[in-house]
Amino acid sequence: MASSSKEVLEVAGREVTVTNPDKVYFPKSGRTKIDVVRYYIAVADGALRGAGGRPMALKRYVNGIEGEAFFQKRAPEKRPDWIETAQLRYPSGRTAEEVVLRDAAQLAWVVNLGCLELHTHSVLAEDVDHPDELRIDLDPVPGVPWSQVVEVALVARDVLADHGLIGWPKTSGSRGFHVYARIQPNWTFAEVRRAAEGFAREVARRAPDIATGAWWKEERHGVFVDYNQNAKDHTTASGYSVRPSEEARVSTPLTWDEVPGCDPAAYTMESVQGRPDAWAGIEDARGDLTALLELAATYKKQAPAKKGTGRRTPSMPLIEIARAATKEEALAGLDRWKARHPAVWPLLEPADVLVDSMRGINSLWTRIRLNLVHVPEADRPAQEPLEVDFDPFAKWKEMQARGEIPARWRRPTDEPTDEPTDEPTDA
């Protein structure tokens, strides 16, 4: 069936043009672009409660969930005059005008760009230097059951309450879970991240068998309490965001009474429409970060002094398998490695396979490493040439070599960091 080229909707007193409304975004279910737009219009009040008034990065799925998504920080130059922006400055010295949503028409306009998810910063447009939200991402290592994620979420709620903050829970739309706390915008990004780190250590202290605050991925177990979502320039998928799963799962705000029995698969584009918004009172729940900062200070005093300089030496026996432009290419490389080492693969546990979604200049790429801790030392394969050796910064470096990028901009290192992007594909 031929698709119409556009459809004009009346939203919040404005006309919003949806281009290619019949384009299929979810191939197996047949959900289309216009289905996604109408979903967001239906849940606009809740979606704007989480994402409204905040600068946002545009994560665009212009060819649906099976196409390659890309990040766009800057608002498109060609945009209606009723699209608001706010200027953010990055550590490199660059600035960007990012989209800020205020009403359902602006929301529909952004979704028309291919934005399934609403990736917002933890600041309001009126003050981009002081977060008004503490964000905690509970990220289970592979093999951890959902019941354990829920158990850690309840511990997180109690730790926040014990330090004068109200936690607001939501599913991530995938394997993980989010807990947010609104705070007064009185602290810097560094202070909020420090408070979040202290929080993570306290959750891990109270539930040491099922939670961890370990920074290095290969050292984690159970559920990682990811405090780094509070770093400057990080964005996370806000409430009511549609995630790129075939079921069109939604990152859904919940009440704490719903959390013990919740099933992330139950919350989809269709099922969340008409639900009462569990975060309706969040604007009246801004708290003080002082107690968490005091907690973080106690953990800092307990930490041993750092020794040595230079690149970190991993504490686990790691080998790297692939760096690829797509997850599919990386996994294909892993399959080739498995075929060459059939005696080793069965010895690995799910958590030993480290699949990281990494952020390049404006797109994601995938790295795969293996932790050989469960392989007898004599049988551990050595590091081999990478199955796929993709350089995510090659184009950037070429542009800089031609003088197209000012030298004052921070140049990416030749080696990736040991931490994945703030937008993990499996969290």
pLDDT confidence of residue 301: 65
Answer whether residue 109 shows pLDDT above 60.
yes
Residues 208, 212, 215, 220: is their CA dihedral positive or negative? Answer: positive
pLDDT digits 0-9 by tens, 347-360: 998 888 888 888 76
Spatial contact of 395 and 193, defined as CB atoms under 8 Å apart = no
Mean pLDDT of 160-170: 97
Q: Tell me what the mean pLDDT of segment 88-98 comes to.
A: 85
For the stretch 282-323, pLDDT in tens is 989 999 999 999 999 998 766 554 554 556 677 888 899 999
Give tens-digit pLDDT for 403-423.
Answer: 766 554 444 443 344 334 433
pLDDT reading at 277 higher than 80: yes
pLDDT in tens, 279-290: 999 989 999 999
Among candidates 131, 29, 26, 150, which has minimal Cα distance to 88?
Answer: 131
Of the pLDDT bands very low, low, confident and very high (cuts 50, 70, 90), residue 155 is very high
Rounded to the nearest integer, the mean pLDDT of the chain is 89
Q: How, if at all, do strands 318-324 and 388-389 pair?
A: parallel
Q: Give the residue-averaged pLDDT of 87-107.
A: 91
Comparing 215 with 181, the larger pLDDT belongs to 181
- The secondary structure of 20-79 as a DSSP string is STT-EEETTTTEEHHHHHHHHHHTHHHHHHHHTTSEEEEEE-TT-TTSPPEEE-SPPSS-
State the pLDDT at residue 94. Answer: 82
With b for 16 or more beta-carbon neighbours within 10 A and e for fewer, the 133-169 pattern comes to: bbbbbbbbbeebeeebbbbbbbbbbebbeebebbbbb
pLDDT (average), residues 100-129: 97
More confident residue, 403 or 64: 64
Residue 2's pLDDT is what? 43
Share of the chain above pLDDT 70, in %: 89
- What is the predicted pLDDT for the residue at 399? 74
For residue 405, the model assigns a pLDDT of 60
pLDDT number for residue 362: 60
The pLDDT of residue 4 is: 59
Residue 20: pLDDT band with limits 50, 70, 90: very high
